[in-house]
Amino acid sequence: MSKGKLQKFAEMETFKNVFQYPYSVVSEVPFEMRGHWREQYFHNDNPIVLELGCGKGEYTVGLARVYPNINFIGVDIKGARIYTGAKQALNEGLDNVAFLRTSIEIIDRFFSEDEVQEIWLTFSDPQMKNVNKRLTSTFFMNRYRRFLVDGGLVHLKTDSNFLFTYTTYMVNVNKLPVLYRTEDLYNNELGEKGVTDSQMDEKTREILGIHTYYENQWIERGLNIKYMKFQLPREGELVEPDVEIELDDYRSFKRTKRSSLSTSK
């Protein structure tokens, strides 16, 4: 590990807004704040919103600035990324922000039934080969249902055509109510910058206009940014869509495509 990373990790141990529970730790120890984030950490009754795979936490911090009466928790396994958002929140005195370093596969160990109001998925890895690692798969939806309020909102903002198409099939086959969906959030025929839907209220436009670290790379490469917002009711068994989807022609930022396949489920 580089010196810079070691320093960040050491400094982060002192941050009151960061909770670190990598898989190895939490598998043996119950998380005592589960079901008690509001009274024990936030000291209020406000709703809780998660950003899963938050990276540097641009949405966690950005949303917290806009909504002081909502609590935001960014979740990611990578500590060096979380550091950036956590430090910023501390510097700005944002008491409605926390970060949780853990694996999203075990996210339901940290939140109890109805504890979370909304989930943001920002530029999640498309995980084109393994559906059970995809954060919008039914595998994860079933986990989210354990702590998200009935009919709670899931926001997906992504560059990935694969992930967006997959998620569209997933919500359609399960008849999950879609409240908003666009395949091109920023571009319009006038070439204006920013969110282009004039029907949207100012706050929503401001929020959707927050750019994350990864988002900026994709925008520079000329990719359209896609966004959808849907509800996740608790009732009914979820089924995986049975469709072949064209793979993205890039694998990840700065990496080339590895697979020789052109579609995947």
Ligand X SMILES: C[S@@+](CC[C@H](N)C(=O)[O-])C[C@H]1O[C@@H](n2cnc3c(N)ncnc32)[C@H](O)[C@@H]1O
Hey, which residues are catalytic here? 125
Interface residue with ligand X among 12, 19, 49, 55 (CB under 6 A) is 55
**Region of 5-13, 85-93, 122-130, 223-231 interacting with ligand X (CB under 6 A):** 122-130
Strand partners, 116: 148
Of 44 and 142, the one with the shorter C-beta distance to ligand X is 142
Spell out, one character per residue from 67 to 106, where the chain touches ligand X: x when CB under 6 A holds, - when not: ---------xxx--x---------------------xxx-
Q: Number of residues interacting with ligand X: please give it, by CB under 6 A.
A: 18
For residue 151, give the H/E element and its range. strand 148-158
The CA distance from 13 to 260, in Å, is: 43
Q: Are 151 and 232 in contact (CB under 8 A)?
A: yes
Q: Are 165 and 245 in contact (CB under 8 A)?
A: yes
Helix axes 79-91 and 58-66, enclosed angle (nearest 10) = 20
> Which residues, at least 6 apart from 152, have a Cβ–Cβ distance to it below 8 Å?
116, 117, 118, 119, 144, 231, 232
Q: Is 159 in the site for ligand X (CB under 6 A)?
A: no
Q: Does 215 appear as a known binding residue?
A: yes
Q: Is 122 in the site for ligand X (CB under 6 A)?
A: yes
Interface residue with ligand X among 31, 53, 61, 72 (CB under 6 A) is 53
Which residues bind to ligand X, rule: CB under 6 A? 53-55, 76-78, 81, 103-105, 122-125, 212-215
